[in-house]
Structure 1
């Protein structure tokens, strides 16, 4: 039976990518989907084609600026009223939040209209909005077996599903790790997420330049950088005579990931999900200012499995990068082993498991319950 679902997500890639993957899966199952986000989210390139989108006002509560809280509350309530109007015409079977302040008014409206709800947490730490609504939602979907800031009293409605990735990335799981000959081209993908990362732009070119000449001569780099860093990054690679393509946005990221032998990246939720889905070894530099230090938590599982090396930003220097690059890159067998270890912690059924959970939200109580977190963990073991 075709149903309607509303997906509510903040406008960053970490929220939007899994929401887009779920939207695609639900539409394949014959359902209709609407997206609620902010102005950034509805303009996100290439993710929500064919999905009706709605921008709702959502005030942002900044802990260090309490003087703005009243204004934020007014915006949130205005967004809630607009969402309730949307639900009267769209009539969703459930509303699913993916975190970020734009998801909050959509969930508040669902509570008021007694519409079933769920939230999906992409990170290894439960985010602020998801923590705020955790008591009232019907289900909490997590991406990691251990999720910090998730109260024990909510474990009965918590389901481990993983973090959905785009189908093009998931398809890489069935392909072998790209062959690396001892004297062949070594392809490096550098990405700081949807907005790039200035620290990677400052350190990576100089770090690669410190590699042994025989290794450096084999490098081929694709580097995603902020627009304000692009000229400097290009100049650094040219100075070091390292072939590099520098861009602010990589619309063909799955293809880039397919040929990469090594990824140097932040540790955002979508990045980790894609690395583990595709099976690509990485050097990770968690964003130190991330809320609740969630990027360090995100990197822990793949690092402990042996699929990545994590370098805290205060120790991320050209010398340290060159050292870790040599440990990973000079031995093709070790690199391929690291790729397999990254792949071992991937959760390839994340989007179908999340869609199953969503479809069950308004199901009659006589139906079988969604598997418990423990059974889900056993299934992925």
Structure 2
């Protein structure tokens, strides 16, 4: 079979698309990615998958901005229709983000079935616009906000796909930790880093007791403009820290850490729960529809994370939370187990099963979250051919 994956240009959209692509290719299907220039530049993703860049405008509230965006969307739609006529996909899978919009519009106009994947606990704007035409809506949470009641019958809970190397971490024991062992912290801020973490985390670690501070080992992602300042702060505190603007080996870093401090993006939550790692989460306050706070709730309620709203995210508050976990060696391992308990490590498999059924013309009976509360082909085969 042939599938097109359409994803916006951020890691939150691209990483689950990458995980699904790997699963579909392993099953022998042809896969092509549609994204924007940003998505095509993310390193380590889709190296062996053809990538097609479409024009896509970002819808704004101003009349001129809306007109400009719609012109771009319509141009992308025309380009996608030409692509689909040449290489007819069995289904198009959208992962949200404005670059996915024209690709999905084109599929609907050609009566190609579409599947929407929603990574967050709040249905995104593009997915809300396209939900009516979708054959299925795959979700990562049992309860998804902004989902219309009439669309509940289309919903299947599959989880948020992550890389297989992350899933394998959940099958391994949690790193040993006791009253004398080093405390290994991983600090991330999404694909672009976060200045507030670069300001608060080093200061918060400086508030810890001298005994605990001397046991710290820190790996932290920083914005390029912040990295030298953060490095100087850690040096003054005498805390060993490995700093980088982009973490290429996230699976190794996550596997080694005892505690993650970071935002509550969809991919972050999915990786924490698949790997079984406790976290202190600081949701991005300006995230659309406050979806990061919604993302963090399930993990926090399960006891796998502690959530601090950014206005309350101070060095003192962070230090108190770290000490509460580090002072009891069992607290970290218990939190890790609780994080793992809400993980969905087979999300890529389950999503691949769903899109195969949709591509075959099947409309499986779906249960919505709101109701419950040979050698893989490299690209798409031409229409009528076998991938």
Task: State whether TM-score is above 0.5.
Answer: yes
In 2, the alpha carbon distance for the partners of 1:353 and 1:91 equals: 24
**Partner of residue 359 from structure 1, selected from 351, 356, 360:** 356
Alignment pair present for 1:369 and 2:367: no
Deviation at 1:202, TM superposition (A): 0.4
Structural mapping, 1:335-354, within 5 Å: 335-354=332-351
Q: Distance between the aligned counterparts of 1:364 and 1:285, measured in 2? A: 42
Aligned to 2:215: 218
- Give the drift of 1:193: 1.2
Of residues 32, 35, 40 in structure 2, which corresponds to 1:34? 32
Counterpart position of 1:332: 329
Q: Deviations over 1:316-371 (max 9, x none)?
A: 00000000111111111011000000111000111101000000113245xx8255
Q: 1:373: how far off?
A: 3.8
Distance 1:188 1:72 in 2: 42
In structure 1, what is the Cα distance between the partners aligned to 2:231 and 2:87? Answer: 49
> Which residue among 238, 255, 260 is the counterpart of 1:258?
255
Aligned to 1:326, what secondary structure does the other structure show? helix
Question: What is aligned with 1:242?
Answer: 239
Does the 8 Å CA contact 1:11/1:42 hold for their aligned counterparts?
A: yes
Which residue number in structure 1 is paired with residue 176 of structure 2? 179
1:181-209 alpha-carbon deviations (Å, 9 max, x no partner): 21011100000011111100000001001
What is aligned with 2:4?
Answer: 6
Is the CA contact 1:222–1:244 (under 8 Å) kept in the aligned structure 2? yes
Aligned match for 2:118, one of 121, 142, 158? 121
Q: Which runs of 5+ in 1 are unaligned?
A: none
> Does structure 1 retain, via aligned residues, the 8 Å contact 2:153–2:366?
no
Residue equivalent to 1:109? 106
Secondary structure (helix, strand or coil) at the match of 1:273 reads helix
Residue correspondences, number: 372
Say which of 40, 43, 47 aligns to 2:41. 43
Paired residue for 1:71? 68
Aligned equivalent of 1:231: 228
d(CA) in 1 for partners of 2:47, 2:130: 29
Q: Deviations over 1:26-55 (max 9, x none)?
A: 000000100000001111111101100011
The Cα shift of 1:273 comes to 0.3
Cα deviations by residue, 1:72-100 (Å, 9 ceiling, x for unpaired):
11100000000001101221000010000
Separation (CA, whole Å) in 1 of partners of 2:275 and 2:63: 43
Whether 1:283 aligns to 2:280 is yes
Q: Deviation of residue 293 (structure 1)? A: 0.2
* CA shift digits 1:141-179 (9 cap, x unpaired): 000000000111101010000000011100101001000
CA contact (8 A) 2:155 2:366 kept: no
5+ residue gaps, structure 2: 373-387
Which residue of the partner structure matches residue 20 of structure 1? Answer: 18
- SS of the equivalent of 2:5 reads strand
Distance of 1:329 and 1:274 partners within structure 2: 22
RMSD: 1.4
Partner of 1:198: 195
Distance in 2 of aligned mates of 1:161 and 1:266? 22
In 2, the alpha carbon distance for the partners of 1:335 and 1:14 equals 26
Please state whether the residue corresponding to 1:228 is helix, strand or coil.
coil
- Give the distance between the partners of 1:180 and 1:106, measured in 2 at CA: 48
- Would the aligned equivalents of 1:8 and 1:37 in 2 still touch at CA under 8 Å? yes
1:147 lines up with 2:155 in the alignment = no
1:71 CA drift (Å) = 1.1
For residue 21 of structure 2, give the secondary structure of its aligned residue in structure 1.
helix
Q: Deviations over 1:120-152 (max 9, x none)?
A: 000000000000001111100000000000111
For normalisation by structure 1, the TM-score amounts to: 0.96
